């Protein structure tokens, strides 16, 4: 019985101090940062394209 308690305690300690899922969280944060930067870039690109088409439309008419 004492052995089982020690094994359980050891497994709990390994679970608390383990770093197994840390890489997945870091990759998730990196992907989120890239996605936010891409969204910001796309908004600026769309604005520039809209301005360009407005100028082209004004010069044609």
Per residue in 1-34, pLDDT (tens digit) is 678 888 888 888 887 776 666 677 788 899 999 9
Q: What is the mean pLDDT of residues 37-41?
A: 88
The more confident residue out of 25 and 49 is 49
**What does the angle CA 39 – CA 21 – CA 38 come to, to the nearest 5 degrees?**
10
Q: What is the pLDDT of residue 23?
A: 74
CA–CA distance, 44 with 14 (Å, rounded to integer): 48
Neighbours of 36 (CB within 10 A): 10
CA–CA distance, 39 with 36 (Å, rounded to integer): 5
């Amino acid at each position: 019985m004492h052995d089982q308690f020690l094994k359980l305690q050891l497994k709990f300690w390994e679970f608390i101090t383990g770093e197994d899922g840390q890489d997945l969280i870091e990759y998730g944060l990196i992907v989120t940062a890239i996605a936010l930067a891409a969204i910001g870039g796309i908004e600026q690109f769309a604005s520039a394209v809209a301005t360009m088409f407005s100028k082209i439309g004004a010069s044609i008419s």
